[in-house]
Structure 1
Amino acid sequence: MVSLQTVQRSNARIANLPHGLVALFIGATSGIGQAALQNFAQHTSSARIYSVARTSAVQSHETLLGALRQSNPRNIYNLVTADVSLISEIDRIYESIAQNEVKLDILFMSAGFMAFEGRKDTREGLDPSMTTRYYSRLRAIQSLLPLLNSADSLSPRVISVLAGGKEEPLNEEDLDLRDPHNWSYWNSSVHSCTMGTLTFERVARQNPRLSIVHWYPGPVETPGMIRSISLGMSPPSYRMGQEEAGARAIFLATNDRYAVDGGGFVSVPTELGSASKSGGGIFLVDPWGESVNNERVLAELRKRGIDEKVWSFTQKLFASKTA
């Protein structure tokens, strides 16, 4: 277990990193993503920070960015307006970044929700809970690879906040859960997690300098948690505070413990060893920052070529939604 004190000491050293870090936050209008954005902004110096908000959240998010500009004016804060429940909107995010940047050091993704009220497809004909947690995240990584691979002095880092290590077998004949009998809010969560890990591993194998962390933060006191309680759900009695989750998220994003290529970010704390990668080459991490092994599920899926099946299915879907 990585103690909160270790996390905080490491995060305080972010200010010593070279100036000019470029980071993109997708999902920072509330919850863990918002706390991570605030933590990163607090500790960085002369960073260029981009965050994404859908139209309905622009006003409140701009208020947050205004507060960050006052608390740390050395950074540059940029708001990109896009709806990440639509795959076609992800390309707009890439265009916004690529117009101004030649590299991207950190891609942080935490957008998503549990569709407790049932499936209500977007105009693209997809379940938005799966789109935000899987399709749009993979699309973002793929679109931004040229910028990520141009991060010269650092090993570029991708953080996906969902359920790394909690992968389960897929409904292999209905990957997008099109059949109403196959869809449930829980099944959509399992598919998003498992397909995410399988495709992230494929990206990592093809981009050996890229460090990808798939983090399961466990129950966290976020607006989403509050909503689940209001709907009669009974989450565990222990829940991590949102601020602690944000600090731990930025530790994952900036500490060399989770780097595949030497890092170049904050050095690994002396009391900790390097984290272990999954069999497919990414970091699956538990709430406390430790590597987890889910080869019980993942090795069999890779052995049978299900990772390639998921990849092919997703690329065909991307082509149909972004043509």
Structure 2
Amino acid sequence: MVSLQTVRQSNARLASLPPGLVAVFIGATSGIGLNALQQFAQQAQGSSPRIYSVSRPATAAAHQSVLASLGQSHPTGTYKLITADVSLVCEIDKVVDAVASQETKVDILFMSAGFMAFEGRKDTREGLDPSMSTRYYSRLRAVQRFLPLLNNPAVSSPRVVSVLAGGLERPLNESDLDLRDPSHYSVWNASFHCGTMGTLALERIARQNPRLSIVHWYPGPVATPGLARAAEFGMSPPDQMALDEAGARAVFLATNDRYAVQVDTQEGGGGGGPPGLVPVPDGLEVAKTSAGGIFLIDPLGEPTDNERVLADLRERGVDEAVWNFTQDVFAACQSAAPPVS
């Protein structure tokens, strides 16, 4: 377990990082994402970060006020709003294009958008369940589209953090990955499909992009507005983590070298870690990745091992089946997207 004191001490060192850190937040209009954005802005103000945050149209005005407030309290940073509905895969392209028009690199991509569809499945115009789009399809699309900016050599230690269910993977309904059959769809099936497909797809990306550090974090029950809403449907787990603690731990996962992949820095090997962001705290070791190459992290910052499920899925090629299915979904969303005016 990583103590909260260690987390906060690490986060306080963000101010000493070189200037110009670029971070993109998808899902930071409330809950863990919003708290992480606020703490990141506060701690990194000495390094003049450039922060982009995505909001759907219905909450854009309120989120713009949040960003404006951050600009007043932490004026060394730059805070930019991108209005997009990330329940639609095609809107992710709009997000990436907006960032790419102003930046040549992205250091941190932080994704926490999502919800549980307690009222049942109600498809978007793309024919997808929005609770699955926000938690899987749009997140994966964002990682894929941002790869050129994340892989820019100017980025010393590119980092992707996806807040969902790393380490809780379960067998998939392999004949209906999108759970389109009503008899297959449920709140929990959708949740576990998103988490498991997310891990498999992110592992594939990690294998092809060895400098990219990918963290799939399961924060456990956190006292967010979303969990408060879930209580209306009988879901009220005990021992909920305070939102402020979850936000601090999220920033730690996004910025500490404990969750940076170790790469060779000399031709022919020779080892050595990446230049990195914030050094690994004394008394801790670099976290171990999954066999597929990403960090599956528990609520208190420790790596988890779910090879009992994941090894079988990889051995049978389910990861490739998930990847190919997802690319077909993306192609269909692109072809159905309205023309750009």
Classify the TM-score, shorter chain. over 0.9
In the TM superposition, residue 231 of structure 1 has moved relative to its aligned partner by 2.4
After the TM superposition, list the runs of 4 or more consecutive aligned residues in structure 1 that deviate by more than 6 angstroms: none
In the TM superposition, residue 102 of structure 1 has moved relative to its aligned partner by 0.3
Change (3 A) 1:151 1:20: farther
Aligned equivalent of 1:283, options 285, 295, 299: 295
Q: What whole-Å deviation, never above 9, does each CA across 1:152-210 have from its counterpart, x for those lacking one?
A: 24110000000000000000000000000000010000000000000000000000000
Q: Distance in 2 between matches of 1:12 and 1:274?
A: 19
Q: Which residue of 1 aligns with 2:247?
A: 246
Q: What whole-Å deviation, never above 9, does each CA across 1:222-271 have from its counterpart, x for those lacking one?
A: 00010011222232x21001111000000000000000143410000011
| Counterpart mapping for 1:104-143 below 5 A | 104-143=106-145
Residue 79 (structure 1) aligned with residue 91 (structure 2): no
Greater shift, 171-180 or 145-154, is seen at 145-154
Gaps of 5+ in 1: none
Q: Distance in 1 between matches of 2:236 and 2:68?
A: 36
Tell me if the contact between 2:107 and 2:159 (Cα under 8 Å) persists in the aligned partners.
yes
The secondary structure found in structure 2 opposite 1:159 is strand
Aligned equivalent of 2:225, options 218, 223, 226: 223
Q: Distance in 1 between matches of 2:60 and 2:241?
A: 27
| Counterpart mapping for 1:1-80 below 5 A | 1-44=1-44, 45-80=47-82
Q: Distance in 2 between matches of 1:151 and 1:227?
A: 43
In the TM superposition, residue 36 of structure 1 has moved relative to its aligned partner by 0.4
Tell me if the contact between 1:104 and 1:151 (Cα under 8 Å) persists in the aligned partners.
no
Residue 209 (structure 1) aligned with residue 221 (structure 2): no
Q: Distance in 2 between matches of 1:7 and 1:67?
A: 25
One-letter identity of the residue aligned with 2:95: I
Q: Which residue of 2 aligns with 1:89?
A: 91
One-letter identity of the residue aligned with 1:212: I
Q: Distance in 1 between matches of 2:150 and 2:289?
A: 20
Q: Distance in 2 between matches of 1:53 and 1:254?
A: 23
Tell me if the contact between 2:158 and 2:212 (Cα under 8 Å) persists in the aligned partners.
yes
Q: Which residue of 2 aligns with 1:299?
A: 311
Q: Which residue of 2 aligns with 1:316?
A: 328
In the TM superposition, residue 151 of structure 1 has moved relative to its aligned partner by 4.8
Residue 269 (structure 1) aligned with residue 281 (structure 2): yes
TM-score between both structures, scaled by the size of structure 1: 0.99
TM-score between both structures, scaled by the size of structure 2: 0.93
The secondary structure found in structure 2 opposite 1:213 is strand
Tell me if the contact between 2:105 and 2:155 (Cα under 8 Å) persists in the aligned partners.
no
In the TM superposition, residue 149 of structure 1 has moved relative to its aligned partner by 0.2
Tell me if the contact between 1:105 and 1:151 (Cα under 8 Å) persists in the aligned partners.
no
Greater shift, 225-234 or 182-191, is seen at 225-234
Gaps of 5+ in 2: 263-272, 336-341
Tell me if the contact between 2:107 and 2:155 (Cα under 8 Å) persists in the aligned partners.
no
The secondary structure found in structure 2 opposite 1:52 is strand
Q: Distance in 1 between matches of 2:231 and 2:210?
A: 42
One-letter identity of the residue aligned with 2:39: N
Q: Distance in 2 between matches of 1:89 and 1:303?
A: 34
Aligned equivalent of 1:232, options 206, 231, 234: 234
Change (3 A) 1:151 1:68: farther
One-letter identity of the residue aligned with 1:245: A
Tell me if the contact between 1:112 and 1:129 (Cα under 8 Å) persists in the aligned partners.
yes
Greater shift, 260-269 or 117-126, is seen at 260-269
One-letter identity of the residue aligned with 1:26: I
Q: What whole-Å deviation, never above 9, does each CA across 1:24-45 have from its counterpart, x for those lacking one?
A: 0000000000000001000113
In the TM superposition, residue 63 of structure 1 has moved relative to its aligned partner by 1.1
Q: Which residue of 2 aligns with 1:147?
A: 149
One-letter identity of the residue aligned with 1:181: S
